[in-house]
Chain A
Amino acid sequence: MLHIIVPIKQVPDIERVKFDVETGRIDRSSAPGEINPFDLHAIEAAVKIKEKHGGTVTAISMGPRQAESALRDALARGADRAILLSDRRFAGADTLATSYALACAIKKLDSFDLVICGEKTVDGDTGQVGPEIAEHLGIPHAAYVSSIERLENGEIEVVADYGEAYYRLSLKLPALLTVTKDINTPRLPTLKDKLRARKADVEVWTVDDLAVAGCDSQRFGFAGSPTMVAKVIVPEERGRNCIMISEDEAAEKLAHIILEKIGEKR
């Protein structure tokens, strides 16, 4: 029986969220929270493995209590258990403190075989938390996995996107993967799944729950985050001052602009 863990994050809908131009702060009330779109592929990958090989899927998230809805979405999509790390002392975490808290929670769980993460989040856009969790857990990882080829004899074979080419890798379990959108098409939960998930239990763990796992609570949240935002600016709507050209003149003028631009290059 495989035990697969999927760390997920609740994010604002990035296409709709509004920014306060003065402060650069995100107005989270302007758009409802949703599960990070990249994480849907991680859940789907985990559920596919479960269907084929048997096992359980545990979704885990860190965030305010509202993040429970993202975990319910994960339950509707096929996760068996959901855990939310929620505590003020987790707040203000950068990727190091986030990955540390998630790794502590994973250590507290019974043994696991695989951790599958989305390649990045739409709000943080770092892609760091997955590999950082792997290092905290002392297990191998592969990032930007675009397909899972085989899983047998305690090994998983994957194809990873190395940027300019794809490489085949083999990892010994337990291992961590971060997966790209190419890996699958997440299925939509049915109404029945959603109703079941609404009633399901989402466990909430605090910093005190992780203390028993031998974790250092000084490394959680803001206190455990070495990076600090010194300032934030909102770039004024790119002063590109678009020069408009009429359709009739387009060919002539664009040809001129393009050739001049190419000339610079050469």
Chain B
Amino acid sequence: MVLAEQLDGEVKPITYELLGKAREVADTLRVEVLCLLIGYGVEKYVEELIYRGADEVILVDDPELRDVEPVKYSRVLVEVAKKYRPRAILVGATNIGRSIAARAAAALGTGLTADCLDVQVDEQGDIVQVRPAFTGNIIAYIKTRTRPAMATLRYRVAKPLPRDTSRKGRVTRLSLELGGDVGVKVLGKVRDKEVRLSDADIIVGCGRGFKKPEDLIMAKELAELLGGVIGVSRPLVDEGWMPRDYQVGFSGNTVRPKLYIALGISGSPQHLAGMKFSDTIIAVNLDPSAPIFRHANYGVVGDIYRVVPKLIEKLRERLNRDEGGNS
């Protein structure tokens, strides 16, 4: 069973990744994929969830569930889990997902494995959760001896299925006794984050190789040119150059872009833990012994102040030429 992630009535892309993974596991076990959708006014997503791999969508749609809040949401998850007794429950390893899943796991008295890279079925037909441990220095394979096995799955580790509008599925509407006041109320949104690094395809990461905050402008220029965003390492956040929303690393954002360009980043374990699963990594650093090079696909031992401006120039040239060629 997949818990759909939704915020302000909008189902999040991680949900389709979870369905992709659940489909894989369910097909191996020859069982169905259930998807639990909790919220208010979210019925319009039911078909989409079926197109993306759900065999049955369990819809709990109630004005009391308008705001995403961990106590009520976990109660709903617990009630549905008791009723359907799924083999496994997959939840997004997001701030919301981790909070709801943990509470539900405690209520169900079952095991929950955090931040998985994969969920597999072994030869014995057991579900195995695969997760990094110790800031990604080791990979642990974990089994759960209670049912359901619960796991939160990282962003971008599973592929969503192509949208198949011919897929058929069932919809079950449940109305549950929610118990009124549970002691926590959402008063409202304060602000959106400036940037959502975990969703970015291209990130230009900046580290201590930058001498002053104003110099980040060249990284921003490079990022904009490529349709990406900048991220920074922890020291730059600690120095107050950028807000923590931009921090890549263990205590900031875990990212997995298609392309990560590390500029003046040495590659501390805490930074690597946040980005080493990126598809392609390019590193530019003055120090040839910087750990970042061991994790990069392409490396330049050099000065970012010389390399980056030239690279921007070259990219401009090529992009303009390509546009010219198309006309």
Contacts and interface: CB of A to CB of B under 8 A. Distances in A.
- A and B form one complex: yes
A125 B115 contact: yes
Nearest 9 A-B pairs (CB), nearest first? Answer: A247-B302, A226-B111, A140-B183, A126-B114, A135-B106, A227-B111, A251-B310, A131-B102, A143-B99
A87 interface: no
Specify which of B105, B106, B317 lies most central, judged by the most chain A CB atoms within 10 Å of its CB. Answer: B106
B300 interface: yes
Given A231-B141, A251-B313, A254-B300, A170 B269 contact: no
A252 interface: yes
- Interface size class on chain A is 35 or more
Interface in B63-115: 68-71, 74, 94-96, 98-99, 101-107, 109-115
Interface residues of B, number: 97
B187 interface: yes
B95 A230 contact: no
B209 interface: no
A251 to B, nearest CB: 4
Contacts of A165: 7, 189-193
A254 B280 CA distance: 12
B113 A227 contact: yes
Interface of A: 14-15, 17, 19, 24, 26, 37-38, 94-96, 99-100, 122-136, 139-144, 157, 159-172, 175, 181-182, 225-235, 237-238, 240-247, 250-259, 261-262, 264-265
B303 interface: yes
Majority SS of interface residues in chain B? mixed
B110 A24 contact: no
B161 interface: no
A124 B132 CA distance: 10
B306 interface: yes
B250 interface: yes
Given A122-B135, A262-B226, A175 B183 contact: yes
Given A123-B134, A227-B143, A141 B303 contact: no
Given A233-B138, A242-B294, A257-B280, 20 more contacts: A14-B135, A15-B269, A19-B137, A26-B134, A95-B102, A125-B250, A128-B102, A131-B74, A135-B106, A144-B99, A165-B7, A181-B251, A182-B244, A230-B142, A231-B141, A243-B298, A247-B303, A251-B314, A256-B318, A265-B258
